Structures are given as structure tokens and as C-alpha cells.
Amino acid sequence: MRRCATLLAGLCSLMIVGGCKSSPAPAPSPAVDLQPIDPTALDRQVSACDDFYQFACGGWLARTEIPADKPAWSRGFSFLTDRNQELLRAICEADAAGKAEKEDLFADKVGAFYAACMDEAAVEAHGLDELKLEWARIDAIKDADGLVEEIAREHLNGGGAAFNLTADQDAKDARQVIAILMQGGLSLPDRDYYLSKEEKETAIREKFGAHLQAMLGLAGVPAAQAAEESKAIAALETSLAESHWTRTEMRDPIRIYNRVNRDGLEKLAPAFSWERYFKALGAPSVTAVSTTTPKFVERVGKLVTETPIATWRAYLRWHVLSQMAAVRALPKAFVEQNFKFSSESFTGAKELKPRWKLCVESVDGGLGEALGAGYVRRHFGTEGKARTVKLVEEIEKAMGKDIEGLAWMDAATKEQAQKKLAKVTNKIGYPDKWRDYKSMEVGRASHFKNVLAAADFESKRVLAKIGKPVDRGEWFMSPPTVNAYYNPAMNEMVFPAGILQPPFFNRRAPEVVNYGAIGMVVGHELTHGFDDEGRHYDGDGNLNEWWTETVGKEFDTKAKCLVDQYSQFESVPGAKVNGQLTLGENIADLGGLKLSQAAHKAAGDAGKTLDGFTPEQQFFLGYAQSWCFKAREPYSRMLVTLDPHSPPRFRVNGPLSNIPEFAQAFSCQAGSPMARPSEKRCEVW
């Protein structure tokens, strides 16, 4: 499984869908230059030494209303994502209207995909005809062999029935691309929603059962049958969930590497015809396979024979139904029921998302590099890329100096760490070679069919990589994405053009503010190469224990300090942060800030006082104000369960309370909340 550690998680459930409103596209807003430090975002009634997040963002929090269609809103990611969506919408609508610029790649496909998605009248006119064709094939399943073939078809169509399959590098031989079989098959966001005895999770299970019945009823299933099938589907998914490892367990790259190959799959699940499955995928020759969760594969094999075929048919019908409702390829009644369940259970959103936003997201998901090429050409200048390249180089130098200065790391481990650092590859802005979408069949008549066509294209593209040389030029985010990632199998950092904008990268801001914002992003991703997961990979991307035993134990001791610190933070009443689940991101936040600060000092730009703040204070404010964030209660509670990142308040206060330079910059007395005593201070990198 590709373990791309990102700056921000993209969390959603198949149940979380957008809305049906649409309106003419406004003219794209010009490049936005936010104030370097926003004085109106501050809360000067709070001491920076007591709660720096509240000091930096309290004014913003007080005046900001979460948009009705959103579960949360942030000054950085949400603001910038919405702006980018406007820019992408303009491209999509021009392509759909036949007014594409001549340089636009696959403009006909982008335009057709967007036009079909926006055509609500056509979706209503199609009704359930397209869904019923899928259901008819499922209803024809008579035995385990037919079941296996249908699971393969759903995987090609982008569904997650029973389990998930992808292609990725072999974690112990990064030169090979192999098949990776992952635990999956659930409708709810995580195993805990099926297994927890807590009151809130129990209530969500009850709502899920009612939601299943309602959706099946809308699809024409008689009430008594819908009630029976909803119970059977929930029971089947609960059985799958029981064999899932927890999210914390899934963070262990050694635990989830289980190279079993085809013969190993046969031993784990002999009742599941793997030969028939891979043949139905169009990949009959695949033999190199690893699985994240062997006991899960065993459970799938048992359920193939122990669960009645009628239950499997109901389960597969449901997964197609929920998949297509999530992308709004079904009539409005399904969208509204889906929204009702997701809002009550997970997001708290008050209104449906405007349809055009979901359609932009759909095009970005299906034709991301075609759409992204137009975005880059129109909105990403060479200056941003050049300055980011320079910043990356400076932070990598800071990491090299940091490694050399570590008292707890011996010479042999330092040598290997420096070798890994020297091999890090950096990708900035956009790919050198754009993806070819010629074989994807896209039309204007059916959004439903386009969704399946895009999924089929991507599934076959991914499967075709197995057995071929690794494509080290491949990107796993589209250029307009407001995010960044580190990929340990490639030992690479990737910074899409979408995040190289204000407030993360602000051309008007003093350099020290940019070091605190985008500089921290760079340092964060680099530190992922040396966090509790990334440290297990060497410079070539292989799982390889390059640490001496003593130093490895010292790392674990230092990391435990952060586990203990963050486990005390409470996101919402009764929901504490999981310090073990969030450990990698917490290490990266702390390391990223320290590296960026060191790089700025080495650059020698002293800076000037701005709005009464010294350059040192500006660095920390530039960081904190890019993370101002407000969320609805159900969404915050869900994130604590799912998100490997800590809530933004603690992504600010947690690492800064461990940095002596912060306490010095704001004259915080020892022992104040933002100045942890030296004996309690956490430090890894």
C-alpha cells in the first residue's frame, strides 16, 4: 500500500456527497495576496504564552462562519481550495462550451465529463435505468465463481466491495511493482463504527440501518425485503470489520508488509478463486502479491462460502448504489437521503454542496492532469517554482546539519541518514510529462457512464504497472491540489502548484513569514522521511533497518514523549487525540518547524518589524495563521477517529510548546502552557 504521508488528510466517506444547486460561473478571482500577518485574525485578549493558537486565530474564529455546505472551514486550505475550484470551473465551462484554448490537453473529454455531470435533467431522465443494468448482472450471480467475477468488475469500476486492490512498489524491493491487496469492504468510515460499544457509534449504526433501508426503498426494493437486506448487509460488513487492523496498527510498515504471492492467497483463502478474479480484472498473469492484513484475507475467504449468495448479491447491489449516489449519478432523492445521513452522522453540514463544485472535483478526479495542465499554464508562474526549489534546497541543508548535530544518534546511523537525505527527489508544481487520456471513453449523454469509464481507465492504468519498471515521474496528486506529500517508496517530496499560493506562499509577505508557512510545509514533508514510519525505509525506498539497535530504541523513547503529550489533548468533549495514530504527523510538524526556522536563520535575512511583531514572532504567526480552522462537532469527532493528523489547534500549540525559540520570541516564562519545562520538552529531529 502506498504510504504517502501528506500535509493534510483528505477525509470523506462514500456517504458524504454534494448537492444539486448550480449557477453561472463567476469570473475567476485574481491571484489573491492575503496580508502577511492578519491583525484582525488575532485575539489580543489571550496571552501568546497561554494559548498561541487562540492568540493567532481567535479573531478569525470569532467572526468566521462555516459555509452551510461545509463540515469545516480553514483560513488556509479551505480558502485556497475554494479559490482553485473557481479557476478550475472556468476551465471546465470553457471546455464544455467548445471555447477551450488550443493548448488545453484533452479539452473535449474535460468538457464532456463536466457537461454530463452538470446535466441534472439527464440524470433525472435516466432515473434508475443505468443502475438496474448493473443490478441485473449482480442478480445473475449463482455461485462463488460468479461472485468473484463480480467483485473484480466492481473493482474495475472503482468500487470497494469485499477488499481493495492496487499496484505499488514492493516495500522490500522498490524496483518492483506488485499487486497490493488491502483490507476494505466497508460503507462506514472505519472499523470502530461497527465494533465500538460507545453511545455515539451505536447511534450511528442505528442510523446506518435506517439509511440502508431508505436507499434500498428508493431503488424500488419492497419494504420487507429492504429491512431484511439492510440487516444482512450490516452483518456482513461487521464481520469484515472484525478482521480489520486498527488505523494505528496500519501505520506500521513492517506489520502491513506480507508478500504472499498468488499461492499465498490460495492458502489464506482457498474458497476464493484468485485465478478467476485476476482473469476478470484483465490481469491473469499477476503472481506478485502482498497483503496488508492476512487475517482479513482469511475472513473474506470464509465469508465467500459461509455467507449466503443472496446476502452477497444484496451487498454488491448496495455498494454500486452508494458509489453512484455519492457522485450524484442518481436522481435527486438519493442525493438528499445520502446527505441527510452523512450530515447527521459525520459532517454536520447544513446544505448540499453546489453541484458545480462536485463536478469540478469529479473532473479533477477523473482527468486531473488534463485539467491540471490548463490550471498550471494559466495560474502558476515560474517565480513560485524557482523560489520553492531554493527553499527546498535550504531546508535539506538544514536537515543535514541537524543530523550531524544529534547527540543521540551514533556515527554509523548518521552516515546512513545522510545517504538517504542525499537521495531525496523533489517534485514541484507539476509533472514533467502529462498523463495520456486518449483511451478513456467520455461522452455528454451519461454522467453515470463517465464515472464508470474514468474508474475503469484508472484501474487498468494502475494494474498495467505491475511487472514494469517503476515510473519515477508519476504524481499521486493533481497539480491544483492544495496539499503536499512524502512518498517513502520513492523517497520523494511532492509539492503541487495548488499549495504554492497565499497564505502558504505569499509574494507580498516578508521571507520570514513564508518560511513559517510554506517553509514549514517543506520541512514537514522532509521530516516524514525520518518519522516513525518513514525511518524504516532507506534511500532507495526499501524497508530496511538501517538504524543501529541502540539508536532505534532512543528514537522510540523520544517519539513516546510526543505520544504522551498529544494523548492529553481533547478535540471535543469526550474525544481525545490518539497520540499513537497521529505520531508521524506530530513528528513532522515539530521537525518541519525546526528545519524551516534553521533554514531561515542560515539564509541571513534578518527582516523588519511588521505590525509590531519582530521577525522571530512573524515566523511563528505565519505558521499559526495558515492553520486557523473551524469545524462542526460531528466532523471534529469523526476526524479524531480517522485522521492521522492532530486537530489544527494542537498542530500549532503542540509543537510550539516544545520549541525554546518560540518561548524566547514571546518572552514566555518557564512553565507557562506554551513553554514546556526542559525536562518535559519533546524533541526528535
203 Cβ contact list (under 8 Å, min separation 6): none
Distance of alpha carbon 343 from alpha carbon 350, whole angstroms: 7
Comparing CA positions, the residue from 79, 77, 118, 123 lying closest to residue 97 is: 118
Helix axes 129-139, 144-156, angle to 10 degrees: 150
b or e along 500-532 (b: 16 or more beta carbons within 10 Å of the residue's beta carbon)?
A: bbbbbbbeebbbbbbbbbbbbbbbbbbbbbbbb
Q: 74 - beta bridge partners?
A: 629
The catalytic residue among 95, 492, 531, 589 is 589
Distance of alpha carbon 460 from alpha carbon 199, whole angstroms: 42
Distance of alpha carbon 56 from alpha carbon 513, whole angstroms: 13
Secondary structure of 204-225 in HEC code, one letter for each residue: HHHHHHHHHHHHHHHCCCCHHH
Q: 575 - beta bridge partners?
A: 572
In a 10 Å sphere around its CB, with 0-12 CB exposed, 13-18 middle and 19+ buried, how is residue 681 labelled? Answer: middle
272 with 300: CB under 8 angstroms? yes
Secondary structure of 459-521 in HEC code, one letter for each residue: HHHHHCCCCCCCCCCCCCCCCCCCCCEEECCCCEEEEEHHHCCCCCCCCCCCHHHHHHHHHHH
CA 389 to chain centre: 24
Distance of alpha carbon 606 from alpha carbon 619, whole angstroms: 11
Cell readout for 421 is 537525505
Which residue matches cell numbers 520538552?
Answer: 681
402 with 530: CB under 8 angstroms? no
Q: Peptide bond before 331: cis, by omega within 30 degrees of 0? A: no
409 with 512: CB under 8 angstroms? no
Distance of alpha carbon 24 from alpha carbon 26, whole angstroms: 6
What is the number of other CB atoms lying within 10 angstroms of the CB of residue 74? 24
CA distances from 556 to 249, 533, 564 (A): 16, 11, 12
Query: What element of type H or E holds 425?
Result: strand 425-429
CA distances from 411 to 404, 414, 555, 683 (A): 9, 5, 15, 19
197 Cβ contact list (under 8 Å, min separation 6): none
The catalytic residue among 229, 525, 532, 538 is 525
Going by the DSSP 8-state scheme, the letter that residue 680 receives in this structure is T
Known catalytic membership, residue 93: no
What is the number of other CB atoms lying within 10 angstroms of the CB of residue 245? 18
Cell readout for 575 is 474525544
Known catalytic membership, residue 525: yes
* DSSP string for 113-140: HHHHHH-HHHHHHHTTHHHHHHHHHHHT
CA end-to-end distance (rounded Å), the chain: 26
Query: What element of type H or E holds 426?
Result: strand 425-429
* Catalytic positions, written as ranges: 525, 589
